[in-house]
């Protein structure tokens, strides 16, 4: 294990590059499920692949060959990759429950009437709840979103824009997950969560299948002669990381990129799970600036996929995230300016920190031949906080590109 002032790095002793894609993993994420998600989402109004931006300046100062940033700030106008998962899972819920009553989506009148009878709910740090609320508004069902004590008022207002009723819970994210499930059981609502737990796995699979579209887009956009050698992936509960890893694992097998997970130090549930060799919860308020990653318990489904293909995990400080937001906004090192939220830069800054540390470079096999992919998972989803951190509004950053 490497431990510097900037990062903690732990390799995964369970990682096996030769490990095959198993039947158990295929029951979670598979080509047929992805094809269905892709066909559905790409048919929605406003769909367009998000850009894959080259960060050649950062690559040069980091001593690697190439660095690309999948910029999710424009996804469906919601500002994050979560638009691919939550809304798609809402659609699947409506289709599945309608089918139980013999109703087809093609029967628009009956399907619309059915949707009005349903209420979907979830707990969120912000972006997933916005996607679920947008999906509910788009497809015509009711929505109640639970947020925990430290979710900002700005993110609360953004969710409310899509017609959801908000319930603020005491405690941390995991407490709000519990309250959402208990309330849903009592009220007859349907939980549309991006994390899985005992007795609740089917809907998170749909969420993750939606996320896979982002990874598939990146594969299609990749401009280098060979695939990425490394992918740095922020974690949270792990659904995003598992979806991206699954797409590359199924596509490339043993030739897949090295997968490096990235946790905020204040909510390092994947770091502790990799350390223990089994899912391990972390307690406390989990109060990290990287709000979308403030989770104390990993997803069981994500663990099934990542335990053998996540090669390492990094613990990252909030200060590093702040520097990453400012670095992208400034266009530091000659790269085009980008608007990135607090959780968007975790993978990027883990790469920057690891590349600057001699021991970490060796451990992660980072060198001038490395081709690295990171996912900028959100734009300025809380514009007020973004201005406070960066010193300029997201609009001012975008105007520099006009």
Over the stretch 208-240, which tens digit does the pLDDT of each residue have?
Answer: 999 999 999 999 999 999 999 999 999 999 999
4 pLDDT higher than 80: no
Q: What is the mean pLDDT of the chain?
A: 94
Phi, psi for residue 312 in degrees, rounded to 5: -160, 165
Average the pLDDT over 283-291 and give the result. Answer: 88
> Could you tell me if 58 and 334 are in contact, meaning their C-beta atoms sit under 8 angstroms apart?
no
Average the pLDDT over 348-374 and give the result. Answer: 97
Would you say residue 130 lies in a domain? Answer: yes
Q: What is the pLDDT of residue 11?
A: 98
273 pLDDT higher than 50: yes
Q: Is 38 a catalytic residue?
A: no
6 pLDDT higher than 80: no
Nearest Cα to Cα of residue 297 among 172, 184, 179, 146: 172
The structural domain count of the chain equals 2
Q: What is the pLDDT of residue 281?
A: 94
- Among residues 38, 70, 82, 156, which one is catalytic? 82
Q: What is the pLDDT of residue 3?
A: 44
Q: Is 106 a catalytic residue?
A: no
Measured distance between the N- and C-terminal CA atoms of the chain, rounded to whole angstroms: 44
Would you say residue 200 lies in a domain? Answer: no
Q: What is the pLDDT of residue 173?
A: 84
5 pLDDT higher than 80: no
DSSP 164-206: -EEEEPSS-HHHHHHHHHHHHHHHT-EE--SS-BTTB-HHHHH
Q: Are residues 291 and 349 in the same domain?
A: yes
Residues pairing with 121 in the sheet: 144, 191
Q: What is the pLDDT of residue 402?
A: 60
Could you tell me which residues come within 8 angstroms of residue 53 by beta carbon, excluding any fewer than 6 positions away?
Answer: 68, 69, 70, 71, 335, 336, 338, 376
Q: Are residues 91 and 51 in the same domain?
A: no
Please give the Cα distance from 402 to 396 (Å, whole number): 10
Confidence label for 282 from pLDDT (cuts 50, 70 and 90)? very high
Residue 304 domain boundaries: 2-81+206-399
Q: Which of 128, 163, 193 is the last residue of a domain?
A: 193
Q: Looking at 295-369, which runs of residues are DSSP E strands? A: 310-316
- Among residues 71, 125, 194, 382, which one is catalytic? 125
Distance of CA 306 to the CA centre of its chain: 14
Q: Are residues 152 and 273 in the same domain?
A: no
2 pLDDT higher than 50: no
Q: Are residues 36 and 93 in the same domain?
A: no
> Could you tell me if 352 and 314 are in contact, meaning their C-beta atoms sit under 8 angstroms apart?
no
Could you tell me the two tokens for 88? 């798609």
Average the pLDDT over 360-379 and give the result. Answer: 97
Q: Are residues 358 and 229 in the same domain?
A: yes
Confidence label for 155 from pLDDT (cuts 50, 70 and 90)? confident
Using DSSP's 3-state secondary structure scheme, residue 154 falls into helix
Q: Percent of the chain having pLDDT more than 70?
A: 98
Q: What is the pLDDT of residue 149?
A: 87
Please give the Cα distance from 260 to 9 (Å, whole number): 9
Q: What is the pLDDT of residue 206?
A: 96
Using DSSP's 3-state secondary structure scheme, residue 54 falls into strand
Q: Are residues 256 and 377 in the same domain?
A: yes
Would you say residue 360 lies in a domain? Answer: yes
Kindly report, residue by residue over 52-63, the tens digit of the pLDDT. 999 999 999 999
């Amino acid at each position: 294990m490497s431990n510097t002032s900037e990062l903690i790095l732990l390799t995964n002793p369970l990682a096996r590059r030769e490990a095959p894609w198993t039947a158990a993993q295929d029951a979670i994420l598979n080509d047929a499920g992805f094809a269905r998600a892709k066909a559905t989402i790409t048919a929605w109004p406003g769909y367009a692949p998000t850009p894959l931006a080259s960060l050649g300046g950062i690559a040069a100062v980091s001593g690697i060959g190439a660095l690309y940033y999948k910029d999710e700030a424009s996804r469906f106008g919601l500002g994050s990759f979560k638009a691919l998962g939550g809304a798609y899972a809402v659609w699947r819920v409506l289709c599945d429950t309608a089918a139980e009553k013999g109703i087809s989506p093609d029967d628009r009148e009956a399907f619309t009437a059915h949707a009005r009878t349903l209420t979907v709910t979830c707990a969120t740090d912000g972006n997933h709840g916005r996607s679920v609320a947008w999906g509910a508004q788009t497809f015509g069902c009711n929505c109640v979103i639970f947020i925990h004590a430290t979710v900002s008022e700005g993110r609360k207002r953004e969710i409310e824009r899509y017609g959801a009723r908000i319930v603020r819970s005491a405690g941390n994210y995991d407490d709000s997950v519990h309250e959402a499930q208990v309330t849903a059981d009592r009220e007859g609502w349907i939980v549309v969560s991006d994390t899985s737990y005992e007795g609740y796995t089917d809907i998170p699979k749909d969420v993750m299948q939606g996320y896979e579209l982002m990874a598939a887009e990146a594969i299609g956009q990749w401009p280098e002669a060979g695939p990425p050698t490394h992918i740095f992936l922020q974690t949270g509960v792990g659904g995003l990381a598992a979806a991206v890893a699954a797409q590359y694992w199924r596509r490339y097998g043993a030739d897949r990129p090295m997968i490096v997970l990235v946790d905020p130090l204040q909510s390092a549930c994947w770091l502790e799970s990799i350390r223990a060799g089994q899912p391990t919860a972390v307690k406390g308020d989990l109060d990290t600036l990287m709000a979308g990653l403030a989770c104390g318990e990993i997803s069981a489904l994500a663990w099934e996929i990542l335990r053998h293909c996540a090669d390492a995990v990094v613990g990252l400080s909030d200060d590093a995230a702040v520097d990453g937001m400012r670095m992208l906004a400034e266009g530091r090192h000659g790269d085009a300016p980008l608007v990135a939220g607090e959780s968007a830069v975790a993978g990027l800054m883990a790469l920057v920190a690891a590349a600057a540390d001699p021991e970490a470079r060796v451990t992660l096999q980072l060198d001038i031949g490395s081709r690295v992919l990171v996912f900028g998972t959100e734009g300025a989803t809380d514009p007020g906080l973004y201005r406070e951190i960066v010193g300029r509004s997201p609009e001012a950053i975008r105007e520099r590109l006009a």
